[in-house]
Amino acid sequence: MDFLKELGIKEKNYGASTGLKWFDTTDQGELKVVSPVDGKQIAVVYQSSTADFDKVVEKADEAYKYWRTIPAPKRGEIVRLVGEELRKFKKPLGTLVSYEMGKSLQEGLGEVQEMIDICDFAVGLSRQLYGFTMHSERDKHRMYDQYHPLGIVGIISAFNFPVAVWSWNAMIATVCGDSNLWKPSSKTPLTAIAVQNILANVIRANELPEGLFSLVIGRGSTIGEKFLTDNRIPLVSITGSTVVGRHANEVIAKRFGKTILELGGNNAIIITPNANLQMAIPAVVFGAVGTAGQRCTTTRRLIIHAEVYDKVKESLLKAYQTVKIGNPLDENNHMGPLIDKAAVKSFVDALQKVKEAGGKVIYGGEVLEGEEYKSGCYVKPAIVEAENHYEIVQEETFAPILYLIKYTGNVTKAIEIHNDVVQGLSSSIFTDNLQEAEEFLSANGSDCGIANVNIGTSGAEIGGAFGGEKETGGGRESGSDAWKAYMRRQTNTINYGSKLPLAQGIKFDI
């Protein structure tokens, strides 16, 4: 395939790089990367050793100590050049994202566009790493705070957004003066290798230090654990399951490291009697079936008022019949495959559990068969009538299952149902009633990190801080002031007088 050659993907690829140098370790096992699109093997990746990891971290630390001395606007210029290089490779990289992960080509290209957008955002940010000044209570004293580079930022990314989430972290960290060390999902390592090859063009052209952008591909039990325990990595940003995040947070906290956690989501949309259904239905369908239900922000629960429940259900059944499922590289298709057969099993098992709990599958749920679906990873998205308290509804199933939940009464009741899960990532309400919208956004409303009105739960812009509360982890990536997590804060007080007054009026005469 031409796009693999263009991105420097070979039949067999090494799994550890300091930016320009690839380590030639081959004795740690192979990752055979199979596309969920057609079941064909794309390439092989040799997994990294712990010795590779130590060498890469050493280089990353050296790069950090140099990079922190470079003025932030000049660091921003390098990020601008990264964005320009990504523009050149948008089509082949977006195609690889689609083929390796299984999302539609439009979503694959959109993911690379997110990378470009965050580069543009970070360039502007490089001139806006602001601190604050405060008035001192002491004569002839000036007090202010400022932010300094932190060190190596470890980035552990998930398969569903194999490149965009890395860029959210890496581009912000780079302008903040940090170096970056990336462990991608073992399910989608080729996109990471491709990005590393693209970055190498910028590194060479600008004589940047090795280790500024590094990569290690390997087992979670070895390489992953090294990320968590290594004191040379002060911050680890993790996108993944709540189980993974809980373990990581406990281990990193023991060494007083910092984490950014973006974990599970059980996202809901509330539809009130005052909703514009012409807007709501497309938002629900895209939120539920986009990326085959494998977004952190996928719409999983639809909380519908009894007055409009039947109308919404009927509209959804009609809309789902128009969803085209097939090869995601065909732009006529809306939905591609799940990432692998294990994901298909989770989909099937979840539907069985909800039926046992008393739920009713009213659309879809089948594993698709036939030549077009020979990888065994294609499913028909499911619509299920359920109740919020069902154990399986309380969980996040990373698959296209939409639970319809009926409510009666006012919007306060809908919000209670909405908040009655342990996750707290993304949320939305569809209503043209100002009071309902404002209550949803108030302190009494959605308990999620993202709360929307009259748009869906997925498709966040890079300009807003991304992340959630409760078991979603509490971290924030990308926009707003999320940059502060990648820096260390320092308060400074300067005495420009000739006396030494103490705070709080304390006297200490000697």
Token pair belonging to 221: 């039990």
Q: How many CA atoms lie within 13 A of 3 on its CB side?
A: 18
Terminal Cα distance for the chain, rounded: 80
Token pair belonging to 478: 């990308």
User: Is residue 147 within 8 Å of residue 126, measured between CB atoms?
Assistant: no
DSSP string for 184-240: --TTSHHHHHHHHHHHHHHHHHTTPPTTSEEEE---IIIIIHHHHH-TT--EEEEES
User: Any bridge partners for residue 155, and if so which?
Assistant: 182, 237
Token pair belonging to 114: 């997110």
Catalytic site residue from 119, 296, 377, 448: 296
* 460 to 84, 297, 336, 382, 450: CA distances (angstroms): 23, 9, 21, 24, 9
Q: Which uninterrupted H or E stretch holds 430?
A: strand 426-430
Q: Is 296 a catalytic residue?
A: yes
Q: Which strands, in side-by-side order, build the sheet including 487-495?
A: 133-135, 141-149, 487-495
Q: Which strands, in side-by-side order, build the sheet including 267-271?
A: 360-363, 382-385, 401-407, 299-305, 267-271, 426-430, 450-453
Per DSSP bridges, beta strands 141-149 and 487-495 are antiparallel
User: Any bridge partners for residue 211, and if so which?
Assistant: none
CA distance 296 to 478: 15
Catalytic site residue from 262, 396, 436, 477: 262
User: Is residue 53 within 8 Å of residue 223, measured between CB atoms?
Assistant: yes
Return phi, psi of residue 348, to 5°: -65, -45
Residue whose C-alpha is closest to residue 72's, from 12, 146, 19: 146
Residue whose C-alpha is closest to residue 274's, from 405, 432, 456: 432
CA distance 28 to 244: 23
Catalytic site positions: 262, 296
